[in-house]
Structure 1
Amino acid sequence: MEFKDKQSIYLQIADFICEQILLGKWPPGGRISSVRDLAGELEVNPNTVMRTYEFLQSKDIIFNKRGIGYFSAENAVGLILIYRKERFLENELPEVFKTLYLLKIDISEFQSRYEQFLSGVTPSTN
């Protein structure tokens, strides 16, 4: 995994775990990788993964069955969507708006490009 400088590594690992859950690779209620296994896979210190797991537990996205391992919560997908949406709206969207302003990109052009993007992503209803 390639880590970025702008965000803490444990939060980037949290994003990776959330993506695995959203993609169905670690389904809700299913077991996720152990701290040691994930640390080895991502080539990071196990303490960093442990910090990630503690963070995700605080968000109720994962939980620990003592002696068995970590599992994704049954409602993990909904919780992830809430968490990621909140983070995007508070942290990333203001940067998008700033860039639009600085480059003098009209909101109608932005909306047109977004609609074009959506037409390529969502299935046709015709």
Structure 2
Amino acid sequence: MEFRDSQAIYLQIADYLCEQILLNKWQADERVPSVRELAVSLEVNPNTVMRTCEFLQQKEVIYNKRGIGYFVAQDAVKKVKLLKKERFLENELPQFFRSIYLLDIDLDELKSHYEKFKRSNFK
């Protein structure tokens, strides 16, 4: 995994885990890979992965079965979407609006590009 300097590593790992849930690679009540397994596969310190798991547990995306590991929460998809939407609206959307304003891109043009993107990426 390539990490960016613009965001804490544990949050980037959280984004990765959330993406796995949204892509249905991990289903509700299914065990996620262990902290050690994730640390090895992502080439990070296990403490960083543990911080990610604690963060996602606090956000009720995953839950811990003591001695067994972490599992995907029943309503994880809903929680992930809310979490990602909130972060998008707070952090990315203002910059996006600024860019389309400065570049004088109207919403109709933007809509056509968005529809093209959906067709080519999510068939």
Give your verdict on TM over 0.5.
yes
Unaligned runs of 5+ in 2: none
The reply on whether 1:89 has 2:86 as its aligned counterpart is no
Deviation at 1:112, TM superposition (A): 2.4
The reply on whether 1:48 has 2:58 as its aligned counterpart is no
2:12 corresponding residue in structure 1:
12
TM-score (norm: length of structure 1): 0.90
Report the identity percentage: 61
1:22 corresponding residue in structure 2:
22
Alignment size in residue pairs: 123
1:68 corresponding residue in structure 2:
68
Deviation at 1:106, TM superposition (A): 2.1
RMSD: 1.5
Deviation at 1:91, TM superposition (A): 0.9
1:24 and 1:99 mapped to 2: Cα distance?
A: 33
Bigger mean CA deviation after superposition, 100-109 or 81-90: 100-109
1:55 and 1:41 mapped to 2: Cα distance?
A: 19
Amino acid at match of 1:66: R
Q: Aligned with 1:71: secondary structure?
A: strand
TM-score (norm: length of structure 2): 0.92
Unaligned runs of 5+ in 1: none
